[in-house]
A and B are shown apart, each in its own frame.
Chain A
Amino acid sequence: MEAIWLYQFRLIVIGDSTVGKSCLIRRFTEGRFAQVSDPTVGVDFFSRLVEIEPGKRIKLQIWDTAGQERFRSITRAYYRNSVGGLLLFDITNRRSFQNVHEWLEETKVHVQPYQIVFVLVGHKCDLDTQRQVTRHEAEKLAAAYGMKYIETSARDAINVEKAFTDLTRDIYELVKRGDITIQEGWEGVKSGFVPNVVHSSEEVVKSERRCLC
């Protein structure tokens, strides 16, 4: 039995190899952290419900992608149908930060004519002593591209919920305002079950059953 949700958003998680994409998603969807995690080859899929306001649930479909450059020939097919994205870099790996621009360019080309709402995520913030990217410069870069910036740690479960939920809330606001619209042939946003209808039909079934007893 599928839970009731208002909308379904499709999110994509991108960024260089080893920045911790799969670990972040696993922490968010399964609540666990593995010290060693296999590299992702190709694309993987996860899902979870989030409650953005009491009683208002959004279903998230989360696409995990391989970070190695050559896999982009496969992963780029998934940009087009995503409404939101988490663009990760590793705060202890300067190069992964320098590649943020390239990732944005790459998605821009392949998402046309749609757009992806991105949040920039500085991951592995538990390793603050090995930090190679300051919060200030990351915030500046994010602002330059009109993104929010958040620092997370899958290991210590810092801001993982917040990263996904804030992004979901922002997209929800854009949908509510009509800036993002549901479109035929686009999987980014889908409308869910209308709770009242489902509720009443369940009631009917229940009462019928009661009659049979």
Chain B
Amino acid sequence: METAGRAQAARDRVPRVDPYGFERPEDFDYAAYEEFFSAYLVILTRRAIKWSKLLKGGGGVQKSVTVKRYIRKGVPLEHRARVWMGVSGAQAQMDRNPGYYRRLLRGERDGSLEEAIRTDVNRTFPDNVSFRKGAEPCLQGTLYNVLLAYGHHDRGVGYCQGMNFIAGYLILITKNEEEAFWLLDALVGRILPDYYSPSMLGLRTDQEVLAELVRTKLPAVAALMDGHGVLWTLVVSRWFICLFVDVLPVETVLRVWDCLFSEGSKIIFRVALTLIKQHQAFILEATSVPDICERFKEITRGGFVTECHTFMQKIFSEPGSLSMASISRLRERCRAKLLAQG
């Protein structure tokens, strides 16, 4: 009874819509969230004070050892856009190319690109109040512009499903179309190696790299996957393509992205390996293919991923060492294998 009362009280106190405009799901655990958030608020406040000092005087954010350390501990929402813009190089690109974004939107338009984007804009984040038709302001138009501009800017990539979710998050954080565009450029054009081009070779390579890393670090899980003939693409495609959007809780995704912009694509492996390692015993109980799929969905929910601060500490300790040199070597090997398969 007492638990039910507490749950109801938490339900009354915690808003139904999160700070980013997402409606909380029906089965949202308000009591657990409130408990986590009251502790996290203390951390957020402490970090906010430190960040304000660091960023005093305005100007851009440059990469440094201090900034990297700060970012791992979380960027406060009010500074997030500025920090992402700074450390990813997006700000520098934007400064170097004044008016470029507007010109992309004014230029000649590619009809099939427009159609592909329009279809997906209508079905991006139906659970977000700002992305609904009739919302004031409605972010569907903003999302359309950012994706269209990107498709014209990077014709080799054009538009790939999944980019709508990423651009959507960038818009929610920056609240600025042009900045969202340049951050998308930083991610798709520089940070992620060839994930969204028509061959999706970089994406397929990285899924193979994850498989190899699991084989080395968590051989029992690799054996389970092999035993049931489960391809890694079945369970982790969304993790890579959407960079954990709609996979992990919003706040956790943003904390992951803080590090992604600052440290690059290997963060994705850290997150994936941590999720798998933490739940290794649970995954190994799976007895069939559907069971494996269900468990890989299950491990992206619950307290472990909601408590984003602890989760972020774990991603830097749990998977062990993960040098960029070894990732590059694995990428080369896996890419060659995929190319040989044709």
Contact = CB atoms under 8 A, between A and B. Distances in A.
Interface in B274-298: 288-290, 293
Contacts of A18: 119
B242 interface: yes
A45 B289 contact: yes
Given A45-B290, A71-B200, A39 B164 contact: yes
Interface string B107-125: 0000000001001101110
Interface string B221-237: 00000000101011001
A41 B238 contact: yes
B137 interface: no
Interface residues of A, number: 27
B218 interface: no
Interface in B237-287: 237-238, 241-242, 246
B160 A37 contact: no
* Highest count of chain B CB atoms <10 Å: which of A35, A41, A69: A41
B161 A73 contact: no
Given A38-B126, A41-B237, A45-B289, A68 B116 contact: yes
A17 B289 contact: no
Given A38-B124, A39-B120, A74-B204, A47 B161 contact: no
A81 interface: yes
Contacts of B124: 38
Interface in B84-138: 116, 119-120, 122-124, 126
Contacts of B241: 41-42
B234 A43 contact: yes
Contact of B198 (A17, A40, A70): A70
Query: Would you call the interface of chain A mostly helix, strand, loop, or mixed?
Result: loop
B162 A61 contact: no
Nearest to A47: B290
Nearest to B293: A45
B199 interface: yes
Q: Name the interface size band of chain B.
A: 20 to 34
A61 B124 CA distance: 27
Contacts of B199: 70, 73
A42 B237 contact: yes
B233 A42 contact: yes
Contact of B237 (A34, A39, A74): A74
Interface in A40-84: 40-43, 45, 47, 61, 66, 68-71, 73-74, 77-78, 81
Interface in A70-100: 70-71, 73-74, 77-78, 81
B233 A74 contact: yes
B123 A73 contact: no
Contact of A45 (B126, B234, B242): B234
Nearest to A67: B161
Given A36-B122, A38-B124, A73-B199, A68 B289 contact: no
A69 B201 CA distance: 14
B200 A73 contact: yes
Nearest to A40: B161
B290 A187 contact: no
Contact of B246 (A38, A42, A74, A81): A38
Nearest to B240: A42
Contact of A73 (B126, B164, B204): B204
Contacts of B197: 70
Nearest to B120: A39
A41 B242 contact: yes
A88 B161 CA distance: 19
Contacts of A66: 161
Nearest to B126: A36
A74 B200 contact: yes
Given A70-B198, A70-B200, A74-B204, A36 B237 contact: no
Contact of A42 (B120, B238, B290): B238
Contacts of A61: 289-290
Interface centre among B116, B201, B237 (most CB of A within 10 A): B237
Contacts of A70: 160, 196-200
Given A2-B288, A38-B126, 7 more contacts: A37-B123, A38-B246, A41-B237, A42-B237, A43-B233, A70-B199, A81-B229
18 contacts: A17-B116, A38-B246, A41-B161, A41-B241, A41-B242, A42-B238, A45-B234, A45-B289, A45-B290, A45-B293, A68-B116, A69-B198, A70-B197, A71-B200, A73-B204, A74-B204, A74-B237, A77-B233
Interface of A: 2, 17-18, 34-43, 45, 47, 61, 66, 68-71, 73-74, 77-78, 81, 187
Top 8 nearest A-B pairs by Cβ distance?
A42-B237, A36-B126, A41-B241, A70-B198, A41-B162, A45-B293, A39-B161, A68-B161
